[in-house]
Amino acid sequence: MSARVRKFFTYLLILVFGVLLGGGFYQVLPSQADTVPNDSVIAQNVPETETPSRQSITNRFVSFAVEQVGDAVVRIDTEKVVTQTNPFADDPFFRRFFGDDFFQNVPRERRLRGQGSGFIVDSNGIVLTNAHVVKQADQVSVNLKDGRTFNGKVLGADSVTDLAAIKIEGNDLPTAKLGNSDEVRVGDWAIAVGNPLGLDNTVTLGIISTLNRPSAKVGIPDKRLDFLQTDAAINPGNSGGPLLNDRGEVIGINTAIRADANGIGFAIPVNKAKSIYPRLVEGKNVSHPYIGIRMVTLTPDLAKEINNDPNSGLLIPEVEGVLVMQVQQNTPAEQSGLRRGDVITKIEGTRITSAQQLQRLVENSNVGERLNFTVRRGNQMETVAVYPAELDDFS
């Protein structure tokens, strides 16, 4: 073989060896990544169906929240017997016209059935619901999601806060986790679970649209509550069921709707229920301090309007506070010397700017505890000592 041919083959071998060496180095690089922690590389090697991504969990947060509490939500069926009276039964004219047999055959009793929701808070069978769900019920049945039905006994009910506790005979029952309603903010997710219109295990989604909505502004003046307001769909039958946050914790108890509005529902904050239901379980009354006035939030503009009305009979100082419109007879307010036309500006040194704030302060006081009211009476400032009594004593 000539020297030129040998030289050609030598160059060719060198070229081939170089190509093979370069190709081998290129294939080594990816394997180095295996020794470096990198979530994105690991994820590429795992089928998407085997490990749910964080995004998929976020998109299904309602499902995850409901799964935390779903088995603890119950349907409550009630029945009560109502005795009917016939207004014509004792009228001689109608008895002669229809005959005695007609009135004897008229049914004197009928059974009224109702339905609501609730949730189990103790594995030994304590159920929370609304007082109006079980009001005057002769028979209470509690139905679990798994098909079991229990007879329920109402341990206690408080109409002022619309809360009731029921006992069922069971062990190791599923329970709902109670959250903290003080941490709730406007715009948070709100998930309502219950049995509206007889449709069991219904879930609706919305947000918290307002905090601390006074029951008086909702149109329920006989309650003493500051509601959570939500646009999650609530219908008859949802009463007593839980309102959940996005973690499946109970933040409220669904209780009321506005008949003249859509997308507005109200729930009792769960912290209120947590402070009351232990007394209900023990069969004890819940204390509600009462002073006995009708009142309205006063602003300078409202004071001007009242003063310009010749029929008001009042001359009101144009200040902020709470105007006493009426003092009920034989109440702590009358006994303390409060008068119609007084403007309450402070209680125990705390400035008062609304009727709701005053009611909240009285509600959080104790029966028989002295409360010092700072009152504007005409041009004079006075201090009036008021001793709240028990609301039930005046019902």
Range 289-394 has CATH code 2.60.40.10: no
Give the catalytic positions in this structure. Answer: 132, 162, 239
Query: What does CATH list as the number for 68-167?
Result: 2.40.10.10
pLDDT tens digit at each of 395 positions of the chain: 555 545 555 554 554 444 444 444 333 233 333 333 333 333 334 344 445 555 555 678 899 999 999 899 999 999 988 776 655 555 665 555 555 665 565 556 778 889 999 999 999 999 999 999 999 899 999 999 989 999 999 999 999 999 999 999 988 999 999 999 999 999 999 999 999 888 888 999 999 999 999 888 887 877 888 899 999 998 888 999 999 999 999 999 999 887 777 788 999 999 999 999 999 999 998 999 999 999 999 998 998 888 888 887 778 888 899 999 999 999 999 999 999 999 999 999 999 999 989 999 999 999 999 999 999 998 899 999 999 999 987 76
Residue 355, burial from CB neighbour count under 10 angstroms (0-12, 13-18, 19+): buried
Q: Where in the chain is the domain with CATH 2.40.10.10?
A: 68-167, 181-281
Cα–Cα distance, 236 to 257 (Å, whole number): 8
- CATH 2.30.42.10 range(s) for the chain read 289-394
**With 0-12 CB in 10 A as exposed, 13-18 as middle and 19+ as buried, what is 287?**
middle
With beta carbons less than 8 A apart as the criterion, state whether 322 and 344 touch.
Answer: yes
Indicate the CATH number for domain 181-281: 2.40.10.10
pTM for this one?
Answer: 0.74
